[in-house]
Amino acid sequence: MKNNFKIIAFDADDTLWVNEPFYRETEKKFFDLLQDFGTPEFLNEELFNTEMQNLALYGYGAKGLTLSMTETALRVSNQRVNAKTIAAIVNLGKELIQKPLVLLEGVEEVLKTLHKSNNRLIVVTKGDLLDQERKLLNSGLGQYFHHVEIVSDKKEENYQKLLKKLEVAPDDFLMIGNSRKSDIIPVVNIGAFAIFVPYHTSWQHEEADKIESSHCLEVAHIKEVLNIIEW
């Protein structure tokens, strides 16, 4: 793979900092709240279905999850769930938004090194804008990034629009992230480059098979990025 780029873009959640485990924890508490109405497996399926149905309306992020949990609670209980449980669900969502920021190991070293050598680094994320700005502020990583780009989804068309906005050719754009579906496959498909850094926990909506391409690499740890990119 080539080793220099005009823009190096990092996914945020579970690439720079911990996110998915907090979502799993929130869901587990939600299943506990609703244990009178079904097993965790049943509730998980119901919640996932609600989220998929609402995705076009709500997009990604904690607010959409909170609304989908509320809707799922109403449905699986045949509207018998009580107000206290609804209040607890709304609070679960607020707790999720306020989780501490936990940086992933090696991230700061990689960003510092690339930034020092004048690589232009940006964040590209499909989370909620306010959530992501708060996380970036709490992470202390803001100094390394030129700016943050929030996209409503990470499909080929979203990357195409982004590259046009950034006025950068696909050949000069590298994306680094933990979702093959969102950070790797669409990027490679539009002719840009990608490095996959897996994370141990991922949302079932983000799962996709490995692809073979001279435009992408898979590494075990984010520090390996420094063996690939010129700095």
Residues that bind a second copy (CB under 8 A): 57-59, 63-64, 66-67, 70-71, 74, 77, 79-84, 86-87, 90, 93-94, 97-98, 128-130, 133, 146-147, 150-152, 161, 164-165
Nearer to a second copy, 75 or 181 (CB): 75
CA-CA-CA-CA torsion for 95, 98, 100, 103, nearest 10 degrees?
A: 120
Residue 71 structure tokens: 């809707």
Q: Between 93 and 186, whose beta carbon lies closer to a second copy?
A: 93
Do residues 163 and 41 touch, judged by C-beta distance below 8 A?
A: no
Half-sphere exposure of 43 (CA within 13 A, CB side): 22
CB of 66 to a second copy, least distance (A): 6
| Residue 48 parent element (H or E) | helix 40-58
Min separation Cβ 62 and a second copy, Å:
9
**Shortest Å, Cβ 23 to a second copy:** 16
Whole-number Cα distances in Å, 56 to 15, 93, 119: 24, 20, 35
- Structure token digits, residue 110: 């990689």
Angstrom distance (rounded) from CA 8 to CA 174: 5
**Which is closer to a second copy, CB of 66 or CB of 182?**
66
Report DSSP state, residue 226: H
C-beta of 11: minimal distance to a second copy in Å? 16
Closest approach of a second copy to the CB of residue 221, in Å: 30
* Nearer residue to a second copy within complex by CB, 125 or 195: 125
Token duo for residue 118: 């004048």
